[in-house]
Amino acid sequence: MRFFMARRFALKNLRANRLLEIPFVLSSGIMGMLFFIMASLLENHYVETRHRDLPLFIQVGTILLCIFTFIFVQYAVNFMLKKRNKEFALYGILGLEKKHIRKIIAIEFFCLFAFILVLSIVGGYLFGQMVFLMLNFIMKDVAGSLMDFPFSFSALFYTTVLLFVLYLFTLLRSSFRISFSTPMALLQKGHEGEGEPKSRVILSFIGFLFLGIGYGIALLIQGLLSSFTYFFLAVLAVILATYLLYISFSVLLLKMEKRRPSYYKPEKFLSISGLLYRIKGNAVSLASISILSTGVILSLATTICMYANIQNKGNSLFSREYSMELSPFSYPKKEGEDLKRSLNQMVLESVNEPSEVEGLYTMVTLATAGYVEEGQIIPVQGQENMANAKDPNMIILYDLAGYNARFQKHISLGENEILLCNNRNTPKEPSSLKIGDWVFQVSEIQNILPVDMVALGSYGIVVRDLATMQYIEKYLQPKEHRSESTAIEFSTHWNLKGISGEAYQPNYSALKKQLKAFSEKSFKGNARYSVENKDEYLQSQYEVNGGFLFLGVLIGIIFLTGTVLISYYKQISEGYEDREKMQIMKKLGLSDRLIQKTGFSQILWLFFGPLAVATLHCLVASKIVFRLLGLFGVGSLTLYAGCLSAVLLVFALVYLVIFRLTKKAYTRIVE
C-alpha cells in the first residue's frame, strides 16, 4: 500500500472515530500543557533567583507529570484500540496485510500527537502566563510580571521529546497488538465481558480484610510516629481493597438482590441484570475513578489547609515582630540575668532612640521530652517499652520573669510552684506534678505553646527561676543523653514604634553581625544564634506552603483529568454496548420509557458510586491526615473540616458537570 492510500484511510478513520479521539487529544493536550508550563518554570530565571524552595516542588511536579501522562495516554490508547478491534478484523478479512494496517495506525497517531503537541505548546504558553501570575500571588510576590515569563525553547524541546517518546511507545504497542492477533481473535476481543460475572467470595473476604487494615490504621493508630510509619501502608491497603471489592463484592450484592422477590419487578429486573453485566467490564475503571477522586480531594484539602494556616502559625511563633535567639551548648559562665540584659541592650542599641522599641522582653526556654502521666514526668531514657507503646510528650519550660514580661502579668511563684498548660485541651490538669524528687503545686494557665508543637502531645511549664529549669533539665536530660538541639535558649522579642521596617533594615543587618560577634566572644562559637522577623518568616512560609499548594493543585488537575478521561471512555463504552441491547429490548416489546429509565438508573449507580466511595475514604482518612498535618503546624480541626467540606462540595459539583457532559455523548451514541 502506497503512502497516499494509507493517508486516505487514516484521515477517513480520524473523522469516523472522532468521539474517541477528541477526548484523547484534549486530555493528553492538558497533560502536555501542564508539562510545558512546569518545564518553563523549571528553566525560568525569575523563579530560580527569587524563590529558594519552589524549584524543588517544580521538579517533583515534573516527574509526577511524566509518570501520569504516560499512564493516562496508554490507558486511552488501549481503550481506542480495543474499540476498533472489529475495524482491524474487517481490514484483515478484506485483504489488507498487517503491515498496511500498521502504516495506517502510524499515520493516525502521528496526526493525533501532532495536534497534542500544538495544543501543548500554544495552550501551555498562554495558560502558563496565568499560572505564573497565580503562583506569584499565592507566594505573596507582587514583583513578578508577564515579562518575567518568556517563551521557553527548552520547554518546547522537552515537551516535543516527551510526546515523541510517547508516540513511539504507542506505535510499538499497537503494532505488537496487531501483529500477534488474527481477525477472529480481534472480533472475539470486541465481545469480552459479555458473560455474567462469577461470585468471588474469597476475593471479597480478602478485600474486606485489606479495607479493615487500612481503615483500622486510619482510625485506631495513636501517636504521630506510628501514624507517619503506617500511613502509606494504610493507603496501599485501601487501594487494593477498593479494586478487589469493586471486582467481587459489588457482584455479590447484585446477586443477593436477584434472590429477593422484588427482583422480578420489570424496572428492578432490568436494572440489576444490566448492572451485573456492566460491573464485569467496568469494575477496574470504577475503582480507578474512586481512587483518583480520593487523591484529588485529599491533596487539595490538605494543601489548602496548610496554606490557610500560615498567618495563624506566624502569630503563634512570633509574639512580637522581631526575635533574637541565642542557645549556648553548655550553660554560660555568665549568670542568666546578665545574659538577658546583654541581649536587651543590643536591641536598644539597634535603634536611634530607646522609645522606638516597645514590648521588649527576653524569655528563657528549654525544649525537652518526657512522659507525663499519673501526676509525674518520667524521662524518656530507660523507658524503651513505654516508648514502643506511645509517643513521648514534648516538655517546654519557660522562666517566670519572661512569661510575665510577655503577657504583662505580675504572677509570683513559690519554690515548689509551677504554671502548667498543654495543647490537647485536657479538661483538668493535675493539682500536683512530681518531677524527680520535687513535687510542684500546679496552677493552670492558657495554652502558650507554639502551633508547630501540635503534632505531639506537648506541655508548657512556667518555672520560678533558671535554677529550677536547670534541675528539670538534668533530670529529664542526663548528661550522657544531652544534645545541642535541646540547649537552653535565650530569646529576645520586640516591636518597633515610629520607624518602618525598611528604615530599620540596615540596623537589623548590623544586629545580626553584632549577635554573631557576641556569641563567638562569649561562648567561643559553641552556641546557636539567629535574628528573625515575622515578615521574613511569613514570606518563607508562603513560599514553602505556596509550593505545596501549587503541587497539590497540580496533582488535583492531573487526577481530575484522569477521572474525566476514564469516566468519558466508560460512558462511551457503555453507549456502544447499550445501543445493541436497546434494539433487542425494543424488539421484545419493552417501552422506550422503561428502557430509558432502567438505563439511566444504571448510569447513576455506576457514575455516582465512585463519588460515594471516595467521600467515605476521605472521611475515614481524616483522623490520620489531620494528625499528620500537625507536622506543619495545623492544629485547628475546624479549619481542616472546613477545607475538606469545601473541596468535597466543589468536587461534587465538578463531578456532576462531568456526568452531564459524558451523558450527552452516551445519549448521542445510543439514539
Confidence at residue 38, expressed as pLDDT on a 0 to 100 scale: 86
Q: Show which of 192, 227, 253 is a domain's final residue.
A: 192
The rounded Cα 290 to chain-centroid distance in angstroms is 16
Q: Is the pLDDT of residue 139 over 80?
A: no
Q: Show which of 166, 192, 218 is a domain's final residue.
A: 192
Q: In whole angstroms, what is the distance from residue 102 CA to residue 179 CA?
A: 9
Same domain, 378 and 498: yes
* Structure-model confidence comparison of residues 670 and 611, the more confident one: 611
Confidence at residue 254, expressed as pLDDT on a 0 to 100 scale: 65
Count CA atoms closer than 13 A to 416's CA, side-chain side: 11
CB 617 within 8 A of CB 294: yes
468 φψ region: left (φ > 0), alpha (ψ -120 to 50), beta (else): alpha
Residue 344 included in any domain: yes
Confidence at residue 261, expressed as pLDDT on a 0 to 100 scale: 61
Q: In whole angstroms, what is the distance from residue 157 CA to residue 162 CA?
A: 9
Q: For 191-200, 361-370, 577-586, which range has the lowest pLDDT when averaged over its residues?
A: 191-200
Residue 414: other Cβ atoms inside 10 A: 9
Residue 70 included in any domain: yes
pTM of the model as a whole: 0.76
* Structure-model confidence comparison of residues 344 and 21, the more confident one: 344
CB 208 within 8 A of CB 249: yes
Q: In whole angstroms, what is the distance from residue 549 CA to residue 570 CA?
A: 31
Confidence at residue 486, expressed as pLDDT on a 0 to 100 scale: 58
Q: Where are the beta strands (DSSP E) in 380-456?
A: 393-399, 417-422, 432-435, 438-444
Q: What does the pLDDT look like over 492-513, one tens digit per residue?
A: 999 998 888 888 888 889 999 9
Confidence at residue 80, expressed as pLDDT on a 0 to 100 scale: 78
Same domain, 464 and 610: no
Q: Is the pLDDT of residue 196 over 60?
A: no
Q: In whole angstroms, what is the distance from residue 129 CA to residue 142 CA?
A: 15
* Structure-model confidence comparison of residues 597 and 572, the more confident one: 572
Beta 438-444 vs 417-422: how paired, if at all? parallel
Cell output for 381 = 531514657
Same domain, 369 and 497: yes
Domain that holds residue 457: 330-525
> Phi first, then psi: what are they for 146, rounded to 5°?
-65, -25
* Total H helices, total E strands in the chain: 21, 10
Residue 392 included in any domain: yes
Q: Is the C-alpha dihedral spanning 642, 645, 648, 652 positive or negative?
A: negative
Same domain, 510 and 373: yes
Count CA atoms closer than 13 A to 587's CA, side-chain side: 6
Q: Is the pLDDT of residue 356 over 80?
A: yes
> Phi first, then psi: what are they for 477, rounded to 5°?
-130, 85
Q: In whole angstroms, what is the distance from residue 475 CA to residue 439 CA?
A: 13
DSSP labels, 185-225: HHHHHTTTT-SPPPP-HHHHHHHHHHHHHHHHHHHH--SHH
Q: Which residues are paired to 418 by β-bridges?
A: 442
Cell output for 553 = 493543585
Q: In whole angstroms, what is the distance from residue 150 CA to residue 45 CA?
A: 10
Same domain, 308 and 415: no
Beta 376-379 vs 458-463: how paired, if at all? unpaired
Q: In whole angstroms, what is the distance from residue 169 CA to residue 500 CA?
A: 60
Q: In whole angstroms, what is the distance from residue 418 CA to residue 430 CA?
A: 12
531 φψ region: left (φ > 0), alpha (ψ -120 to 50), beta (else): beta
Please provide the distance, in angstroms rounded to a whole number, between the alpha carbons at the two ends of the chain. 37
Residue 325 included in any domain: no
Q: For 145-159, 281-295, 430-444, which range has the lowest pLDDT when averaged over its residues?
A: 281-295
Instruction: Tell me the helix, strand and coil percentages in the chain, rounded to 5.
Output: 70, 10, 20
Q: What does the pLDDT look like over 562-582, one tens digit per residue?
A: 777 777 777 776 666 666 666
Same domain, 670 and 651: yes
Q: Collapsing DSSP states into helix, strand and coil, what is residue 324?
A: strand
Same domain, 399 and 486: yes
Q: Show which of 192, 219, 251 is a domain's final residue.
A: 192
Domain count, the chain: 3
> Phi first, then psi: what are they for 329, rounded to 5°?
-75, -20
CB 135 within 8 A of CB 126: no
Residue 422 included in any domain: yes
Confidence at residue 400, expressed as pLDDT on a 0 to 100 scale: 93
Q: In whole angstroms, what is the distance from residue 35 CA to residue 169 CA?
A: 18
Q: What does the pLDDT look like over 369-428, one tens digit per residue?
A: 888 888 888 887 755 544 445 678 888 999 999 999 999 999 999 888 999 988 876 556
Q: In whole angstroms, what is the distance from residue 640 CA to residue 622 CA?
A: 9
Q: What does the pLDDT look like over 439-495, one tens digit per residue?
A: 999 998 888 888 876 667 789 999 998 888 888 888 887 665 555 555 788 999 999
Q: What does the pLDDT look like over 215-250, one tens digit per residue?
A: 999 988 876 667 777 888 999 999 999 988 887 776
Closest CA to 400 of 453, 345, 467, 344: 467
Same domain, 206 and 131: no
CA torsion, ordered 504, 505, 506, 510, to nearest 10 deg: 100
Confidence at residue 19, expressed as pLDDT on a 0 to 100 scale: 76
Cα 598 to Cα 40, 279, 605: the distances in Å are 50, 15, 11
Q: Is the C-alpha dihedral spanning 601, 603, 606, 609 positive or negative?
A: negative
Q: Which residues are paired to 496 by β-bridges?
A: 357
Confidence at residue 388, expressed as pLDDT on a 0 to 100 scale: 45
382 φψ region: left (φ > 0), alpha (ψ -120 to 50), beta (else): left
Closest CA to 538 of 137, 139, 58, 134: 139
Residues in the chain: 671
* Structure-model confidence comparison of residues 104 and 400, the more confident one: 400
Q: Is the pLDDT of residue 362 over 90?
A: yes
Same domain, 162 and 244: no
Q: Is the pLDDT of residue 323 over 80?
A: yes
Cell output for 503 = 528604615
Closest CA to 465 of 416, 408, 507: 416
Residue 324 included in any domain: no
Cell output for 405 = 514580661
As a whole number, mean pLDDT of residues 136-149 equals: 74
Q: For 245-259, 280-294, 304-318, 362-376, which range has the lowest pLDDT when averaged over its residues?
A: 245-259
| Greatest mean pLDDT range, 190-194, 561-565, 644-648 | 644-648
Same domain, 114 and 255: no
Express as a percent the part of the chain with pLDDT over 90.
19
Same domain, 108 and 221: no
Confidence at residue 457, expressed as pLDDT on a 0 to 100 scale: 77
Same domain, 310 and 334: no
> Phi first, then psi: what are they for 328, rounded to 5°?
-70, 140
Task: Kindly tell me the burial class for residue 37, based on how many C-beta atoms sit within 10 Å of its own C-beta (0-12, 13-18, 19 or more).
Answer: buried
As a whole number, mean pLDDT of residues 167-174 equals: 88
Closest CA to 354 of 226, 523, 200, 496: 496
| Greatest mean pLDDT range, 2-11, 153-162, 188-197, 473-482 | 153-162
Q: Is the pLDDT of residue 525 over 90?
A: no
Closest CA to 413 of 387, 388, 438: 438
Angle of helix 85-93 relative to helix 98-138, nearest 10 degrees, comes to 160
Residue 280 included in any domain: yes
Cα 263 to Cα 268, 372, 497, 525, 599: the distances in Å are 6, 60, 79, 82, 16
Closest CA to 19 of 607, 669, 567, 583: 669
Express as a percent the part of the chain with pLDDT over 70.
78
Residue 530 included in any domain: no
Confidence at residue 386, expressed as pLDDT on a 0 to 100 scale: 47
Q: Is the pLDDT of residue 52 over 50?
A: yes
Confidence at residue 96, expressed as pLDDT on a 0 to 100 scale: 73
Beta 458-463 vs 527-533: how paired, if at all? unpaired
Closest CA to 417 of 471, 465, 357, 476: 465
Residue 586: other Cβ atoms inside 10 A: 12
CB 420 within 8 A of CB 459: yes
Q: Collapsing DSSP states into helix, strand and coil, what is residue 417?
A: strand
Cα 270 to Cα 212, 307, 594, 602: the distances in Å are 33, 49, 9, 9
Residue 65: other Cβ atoms inside 10 A: 23
Q: What does the pLDDT look like over 631-640, one tens digit per residue?
A: 777 878 889 9
Cell output for 386 = 513505654
Q: In whole angstroms, what is the distance from residue 43 CA to residue 128 CA?
A: 13
